[in-house]
Structure formats: C-alpha cells, structure tokens
Amino acid sequence: MTRIAIRRALITVYDKTGLEDLARGLEAAGVEIVSTGGTAAAIASYGVPVTRVESLTGFPECLDGRVKTLHPRVHAGLLADGGNPSHVKQLEELEIEQFQLAVVNLYPFAATVASGASDAECVEQIDIGGPAMIRAAAKNHGTVAVVVDPAAYGDVLAAAAEGGFTLTERRRLAATAYAHTAAYDVAVASWFGNVYAPEGEWPSFMGAAWKRKAALRYGENPHQGAALYTGGTDGLANAEQLHGKEMSYNNYVDADAAWRAAWDFAEPAVAIIKHANPCGIAVGADVAEAHRKAHECDPVSAYGGVIAVNRKVTRELAEQIAPIFTEVVVAPSFAADALEILREKKNIRLLACPSGPANAAEFRRVDGGLLVQTVDRVDAPGDDPSGWELRAGEPASPEVLADLAFAWRACRSVKSNAILLATGGATVGVGMGQVNRVDSARLAVARAGERAAGSVGASDAYFPFPDGLQVLTEAGVKAIVEPGGSIRDDQVIEAAKEAGITLYFTGTRHFFH
C-alpha cells in the first residue's frame, strides 16, 4: 500500500471553500499546518494552530505578495525524496522538514479575464508560487500528496485517519495536479496570444484543456471506443439531461448539428436531424407550428431523428413529438407539462441547454495537425437579402423573398453539395451530400415530390453548369438563390431567363463538409 503518514501539511489557497473543516480535521489528526498570507489568517481565525511561512523561511512576504513561498525551505520540503538517503541527510544538515501534504489552489486568472478586468488586473492574477508548489509536490508524489480541488478535502481527512495516501492515490492526485496547472498555463498563454499580445488573426500558439465528462458506450460504431470531454464552458456538451438513456456518440453529433441549425434562425424554429443532415427545418409563429412544418418535410427520415428547438418546449409541441420515435430533444427549457408528457417515453433523451451555440471557432483534426476556422453564422454581407443581386426574372414578392431568405439560411446546415427547396418558411425537399450538384438537385426534387412546384430553391455554391438549375425549374421551382461565381454564370442566367424564374446571386458561399 506504501502509505506515508501525513505529519506536516502546506496549505495555501485562494478558494477557501471547505478550508475550516480541512484545517480542523488535520489538527485533530495531529498534523502540523504551514500556511501563507490570507490562508494562514483564515486558519488562525478558526482557532487552529498554524505556522506562517515567513517564520519558516525567515523572510517576509514582499512585493505585494508576489513573493511568499519561492524559498528553499518551502521547495526543499516539497521536493525532497524521502526514500533517498542523500536527500534525507541534506535536509537534516539544512534543518529543513519535509511536507507529506500540499493543498494549493490558484489565483482565479480565467475568472478575472471573463469579468472584463483590465489587462493590468489580469496580469496580476497570474499565479507564480502556486503552480511552482503544485508542480514540485506532484513531481515528488512518491513522498508528497498534492491536492488542488476542495472537493477532495474529505479524501484528505480520510487518508490522514488511515495513515496517509497510498502510492496509487498519490499518483492520481499528481495527475490531477498537473492537469490543473496545464489548464491554467493554457488559459494564460491563450490570453496573451489572443488578447494581450496578438500577432494577427490567428495566434502562433493554440492550446486547450479538456476534462472527461463521460465515457460513452462506444463511438460511431460498436467497435470504436469513445468519451465526451468538456472545456469548462456552457454549451451542448454541458446540457442538463432531464430524462432518458445515456447519450451516445452519434446522439451528440446529431444533437450538435440540430442545435446549430435551429439557432441559425431568430424566429421560433425546429430542426430535425438524422446522420448530421436535416430531415426538415422550419420556422413558425410558435414551436409547435414550426415542428409540424419541419416534420412534414420528410416524416420517414424523421423517424429516429434528433429534434432541436430554439425556444421552450410547450405542451402542444410535446404532444406532437410523443407519438414519433425520437432519439433526442434539445431545447433551452421544457414546460413542466411538456416534461410530464415526454417522460412517459422511456428512452427519449431530453436535454436542457439554456444558451445557443456560442463558439467563435471550430476545429477539425487532420492527420498530424488541426484545422481551425471561424464558425459560419450565416452573417456574411451576402447573407442579407437586401444586398442580393437580381440576375434573372422579376424581383421577388415579399412572400417569395422571405422564403428565399429562409431557404438560404437553412441551406447552411446541409452537407455539400446542398440544394434545398422551401415553401412557407419550411423545407419541402433537401438534397445533400452528393458529389455533383445535379444529383443534389434531383434528390431535392425527388424528396419534395409535388411540393417542388411553386417552391423556392437555394444552392450552397454556384451552379457550374445550367443543368442543376434546369432540374429545379423543370420541377416547377419558381425562384432560386445561389452564390454565383461560376465561369458559366452567363449560361446559368440564360437558363433561368428561359424558364421565366427569378434568380438572385448572393456573392457568398456556404460549403459544409
């Protein structure tokens, strides 16, 4: 078991949660406590004996507290290997006592940055002595237990009563400690590179710290392992699950795609996603209407889909969803009576995520590297219909223009090559993921059926030839919006004129892979 009894502890913490119980418990276990500044004052106020670090070092805290523990009598006590006779002898000669426990947490740098504090205040909250002590104790985990989380104080007191932490426990504590300082350093380095001393649009260093939230049953397929990690921010990964089975890897992928698609709209909107592609997207006067319209787009594919709603789920919406086999419903919140209805479905997963997607950048791993890009929020200049260029036909009526604007915005969430048909603020046919635009147009028309006639169409990128547009016009599509930019734009425009339809160019592309 290799337990090492805790005889002497160094405690220096910014977050004093649980400090009183910890100090009293260590005192009861006969542990000598050494501490610094405000931590020592707090411990003394509890009536617990404490040795101030300056009495240990013989040197006062200075420089407004910037220098407290950076001293050999502290670090030698943390770094001395109790199993090394040479180290033990040197400690005796130097009259330095070992620590068996270090309890340290750090200045709240990330919280200070998030608060909007000045640069000078942020710099002042960069902890120096704390990380040094944590890293020293973690390196010397063969002798010292290091604790960085107040949630572990109960384990500390239990270990003190049982003769100390085992080597396995000290290793795990050290791993947690190094993860803690690594995340802290990433936060500081990221702030310097992105805010305080930027070098351009993209920093020369990019780091992230992720903490495992859940081990998933498997990945995309049963033979693949998988886990969910979170980065300490709000978002879908930290949504509250109100009901249902555990989320799977594929559930998260589809829920993320649906959540983003629903929040592409300011109006009440519903997106139904299957295999990361829309079965239907719609806006409405309320979420129940939006869901009815979205579901009607492709009810066969919606079976077993994921539904995202950008407003509270109402009773009426819950009554519509309940008869349909659905994997996940994610929304900002659920009305109490809506929850009661949906919880009657044993397996449906209900996620409450109060805020919409907020990531400024998105990442994709490639072999040996990482691709980073800003998130497409459908907010480029060409996404505003008032700036669209009319290239064929009569200007669209307000109703048709509204449908074109909806189709253009909804098309963003469709895997390229993407063609989307819409009527009345709802998709009626979606052609996605084809390797040529003609096949995507054919697929959209086939899915729309008779609804293609009189609908409007959107293409995420230009038509390289007239044939894709002609597939739509022959099906009765009356207006189309696309980026333009093909070397054969003149042929596409001529085909639109011959068909007598309205054609707008946006000048903006929305590839999605």
Record the tokens describing residue 1, joined without a space: 């078991």
Number of DSSP helices (H) and strands (E) in the chain, helices first: 19, 21
What is residue 448's DSSP assignment? H
Strands (E), 321-418: 326-331, 349-352, 361-366, 369-374, 389-392
Sheet of 240-243, strands arranged across: 240-243, 349-352, 326-331, 305-309, 269-274, 277-283, 426-431, 419-423, 456-459, 479-482, 502-505, 389-392
275 is catalytic: yes
Catalytic residue among 16, 87, 139, 245: 139
510 is catalytic: no
Contact 501, 478 (CB under 8 A): yes
Q: In 3-state terms, what secondary structure has residue 62?
A: strand
DSSP characters over 398-438: HHHHHHHHHHHHHHTTSPSS-EEEEETTEEEEEE-S-SSHH
Direct distance between the N- and C-terminal alpha carbons of the chain, in angstroms, rounded to an integer = 52
Residue 176 CB burial class (10 angstroms; 0-12, 13-18, ≥19) = middle
Catalytic residue positions, numbered: 139, 275
